[in-house]
Structure formats: C-alpha cells, structure tokens
Amino acid sequence: MKSKLIAVALFTGTVASVAFYPAYKSLGAVTNSPIAAVIPTHSFVSINNTRPVVEVVFVLDATGSMSGLIQAAKEKIWSIATTMASAQPAPLIKVGLVAFRDRGDEYVTKMIDLSSDLDSVYARLMDIRADGGGDGPESVNQALADAVNKMSWSTDQKAYKAVFLVGDAAPHMDYQDDVKYPVTLSVARAKGITVNTIQCGQDPQTLHEWRQIATLAGGDYFQVDQAGSAVAMTTPFDEKLARLSEKLDGTRLYYGNKEDKEKQALKVAASDKVHAEASVESRARRATFNASASGATNLLGDNELVDDVTSGRVEFGKINQAQLPATLQALAPSEQQAKIAETARQRDELKKAIGAIADQRTDYLKREVAKAGGAKDSLDAKLLSTVRKQAATKGLHYEADAPQY
C-alpha cells in the first residue's frame, strides 16, 4: 500500500482610460445623460489586446491520501490567483487543472481546461475528491501529456505558460503504451511551457524523478511537508468581504443572443455554487481577486452590459432590445439608461469598499505571519519566488516581497 505524506496546504493591455465624449456619443446623449454622468474608471475591463497573459496549469495527485492537499487547493486557489495578478502590467490570468490517479482507479486523469473564468474552474475543482491509488507509482506520464498537449495554451510566445506538478509518488515508467515524460517535456519546451515540480513528502524516488522533470523542462523543484506548508488563516475581515463579493456579483447585467445567455447562465451558476458551498475564507480571497484589475475578467465574463456600455465599447442604442436582460426590457429607454448608470455607480462603490477591506486584511495577515516567525519557507513564498523569476523573462514585474494569503 502506498505511503504518502500529505502536504497540509497548496494553492496557497493596461486598464482602459476612456474619454467621456466617446461614451456620450455612443449613447447619442448629451452631458446630462444618466449613463454619461457615471463613468466609474475602476469598473473597466481592459480593452488593450496586448495585455500580458499568465497561464498556469496545476497537475495534482488526487489519490486517496491526498485529501488534505485537495482541500487546501480549494482554499488557496484565489490567493494564488491574486498573487499572480499582482504583476505589472496587470495580466490576464488563466488557470487549468489536471487531476490524476492511476489505471484501475475511477479515472486516470480529469481535466479542467485553461480559462479566465476562474469561477467555473473553481466550481469543478470543488467536486474533485481524493480516492484510489495503492501500488506506489501513479500515472504521472499521462497527466503531464494531457497538461501539455490537451490544454488550450496560448500560441503567444510572450505569454508566461507554466505547469506545476504536485504529488508524492514517482511515475509509472513500466507502462508500455503511454508517452514517457522526457518526450512530453521536449514538446513543452518547444511550446514555451515551463514545468515545475512540487514534491509532497520526502520519498527518495519521487525526489529523483521530480528533480529530473524540472530539469528537463527548465523549471524549478521544491518540496513541501505536512507541517503547514502554506498560510491559511481566518481573519476578522473575511465575513464582510464574502458578503460584499456576493453583492458585487449582483451588479452583473448580461445581454446577448440565446447562445450567449446559455453561457452566461452557466457562469452565474458557477458563482452561485461558490457562494453556497465555499468557505467564508475562500470567498474572501475571491473578493480580493475580483476587485483587482486582473480579476475583472473573472467577475464580468463576456457581454456584461454595464461594463460594455460605460466603457464605450458598445453603443447602447444599437443593442437589440430582445437581447437585453429581462429586467430592463420592460423599462423605457431613459429608465434603462438610468438603471445602467446606477448599477455602474453601485459596482464602483462595492469595488472600492472591497479594496479597502482587502488592504486591511492583508495588513492583518502580514502581522500574524510575522508573529508566527515568518513564512519564507511556506508554499506561498516558494510559488511567488518561482513565478516572479520565470515571469520576468516575459516582461512581467512583481514588486511584492510577500505573496497574497
């Protein structure tokens, strides 16, 4: 029976400046237009197509003894996203996941494709449970092959693309019909994908293989243990941030055709699942991410009426009335514009409130971490160090001396 040490925790361009006149013109309005009067600069999603891209896929051992790690992933993914989003210039963040077990288990690999819709990624992550395993080695070769070859990686050579392989057991090298990791890593390097390895526990065979994988892929290797490798603290600010996050979600107004609305319904369902099932602490971390420049993409998604209109990307008068949200269709045109303006104002106030409280939460955590003796050896710090070094080669600069918690 495989013996595993469980890591207690894991997962620990430019925003548009839009002149007022184009916004007025897009509405066919004058300066007293209710929409033109409220153009909250904090609400805009970037319309700069050259914004940098960060794509990270976590390849996670999901066998039976890794339940602590899987639970930690559910707690820390938002703070990791916030850490990655703290670069300058603010990047577009995409995250994917490959959970792996072994042949004979319920599944060998389970994929969640790269997406900037972190809510949908997270909603599926919440359903992953640790189970299976038993003979020692796992199907690491297939997991890496799926991560490198089946994910929707950007073809942009300027994008920072990275895999983090996390586990505590060596790969099965005795399977005759799978692609061995040296071959896959050669493909990864050709695609500009860096593969990093995180060893849970201290198994000597795993250490050898994990270091070899990182070396072949131009990545980093580091080890975590079961004594508390990531910072996961409760704060006095979590409950309020979670409530504000749900209110912020409530400001979204979607429009579009039937296909658009079906996709939007799935996104809203994913957000609702987060609010219903995720911990208060996790929802507080999500609030912090969504209020950031990078988090706007996850918060809003596509065809969000308030942001599209107030930013000037879409002329309100040209939108088919049948494609508007049902709550607006019954209103007169002036009332529709007033509703959009009021919603924009509310959203801006909520984001400012979240930002202020998130800063208080960050200061609180820094003090608590310092009291505990610091966190330089934590998983959080090691991830930031790795991402900072590797992303710098793509023009991304991280000023923070500590990760987000």
Q: How far apart are CA 152 and CA 94, in angstroms?
A: 10
Q: How far apart are CA 220 and CA 210, in angstroms?
A: 9
Question: Cβ–Cβ contacts within 10 Å for residue 266, how many?
Answer: 15
C-beta of residue 381 within 8 angstroms of C-beta of residue 232: no
Q: Are residues 256 and 292 in the same domain?
A: yes
Q: At residue 352, does pLDDT exceed 80?
A: yes
Query: Is the residue at 244 inside a domain?
Result: yes
Q: How far apart are CA 213 and CA 195, in angstroms?
A: 8
Q: How far apart are CA 11 and CA 21, in angstroms?
A: 44
Q: Are residues 237 and 143 in the same domain?
A: no
Question: Where do runs of H (alpha helix) occur along 191-231?
Answer: 204-216
Query: Between 7 and 353, where is the model more confident?
Result: 353
Q: Are residues 382 and 239 in the same domain?
A: no
pTM of the model: 0.85
291, containing H or E segment: none
Q: Are residues 200 and 213 in the same domain?
A: yes
Which tokens hold the place of 38? Answer: 């409220």
Q: At residue 8, does pLDDT exceed 90?
A: no
Query: Between 343 and 29, where is the model more confident?
Result: 343
Q: Are residues 384 and 361 in the same domain?
A: no
Query: Is the residue at 340 inside a domain?
Result: yes
Question: Which residue range is the domain that position 332 belongs to?
Answer: 233-367
Query: Is the residue at 172 inside a domain?
Result: yes
Q: Are residues 306 and 220 in the same domain?
A: no
Which among 66-75, 171-180, 220-229 has the top mean pLDDT?
171-180
pLDDT band (50, 70, 90) for residue 23: very low
Q: Are residues 241 and 320 in the same domain?
A: yes
pLDDT band (50, 70, 90) for residue 369: very high
pLDDT of residue 31: 31
Q: Residue length, the chain?
A: 405
Question: Cβ–Cβ contacts within 10 Å for residue 259, how many?
Answer: 8
Q: Are residues 89 and 209 in the same domain?
A: yes
Average pLDDT over residues 178-200: 96
Q: Are residues 127 and 201 in the same domain?
A: yes
Q: Are residues 115 and 225 in the same domain?
A: yes
Instruction: Specify which residues 200 forms β-bridges with.
Output: 224
Number of domains in the chain: 2
Q: Are residues 194 and 205 in the same domain?
A: yes
Non-local (6+) Cβ contacts of 214 within 8 A are: 195, 196, 197, 220, 221
Q: How far apart are CA 298 and CA 267, in angstroms?
A: 9
pLDDT of residue 180: 98
Q: How far apart are CA 159 and CA 162, in angstroms?
A: 10
Q: Are residues 363 and 387 in the same domain?
A: no
C-beta of residue 46 within 8 angstroms of C-beta of residue 300: no
pLDDT band (50, 70, 90) for residue 49: low
Query: Is the residue at 281 inside a domain?
Result: yes
